[in-house]
Amino acid sequence: MGEVRTSSNYGIPIVIDQCKDCGGLWFDEEELYRTRHGVAFEIDKELNTENLRRFSYMQEKIMVCPKDGSVLNDIKESCFPENIKVKLCRKCWGFWFNYGEFGKYQEYRINKLKIVDKRKETEEERLAREKMDKKIVGLVKLFGSLEREKSYEKEKNQAMNFFYVLWMLFRILVARK
């Protein structure tokens, strides 16, 4: 799997996994819903389709989750168009899309949103939506800062362990003299 860097609707970076053999996309738990509309076409442009294996679509073969090895299940939900196959890991809640299927999914969502957008929004609904958007942006920023803190703590712990091992080696060497 290779990494594809993209962004959310709020500009937060997202890293999606892409199979280099078939072009399929793997979305970890919440990445699918956070991914910016229209990004599928950018992802497809960057992929060298000549290197893809022919006929590698997920038909009846059993597929496993690239994260935890669980069997992936077909999804038949109203939020996904009928003409695409999407697989779900019920353990980590990740999604698998065949090459080109994510673009169809995003097109479907955009068309659904256009139908909703045709209805006139009241001033009260607009204010409530803007308030919710601000909360979401705040939560996304908080999540990003928490992830950075986790990364910092992990690096700090690794450094502390390294220095502890060095200190113990130093003490052993000094004790031998």
Enter the pTM of the model.
0.57
Q: Which two tokens stand for residue 167?
A: 């200190």
Which pLDDT tens digit goes with each residue over 19-55?
A: 877 788 898 888 888 888 777 767 766 655 555 555 4
Using pLDDT thresholds of 50, 70 and 90, give the confidence band for residue 10: confident
CA angle 114, 119, 120 (to 5 degrees): 125
Q: Where are the domains of the chain?
A: 2-117, 121-177
Mean pLDDT of all residues in 142-170: 76
Under DSSP, is residue 51 helix (H, G, I), strand (E, B) or coil?
A: helix
Triad 107, 137, 67: Cα angle to 5°: 65
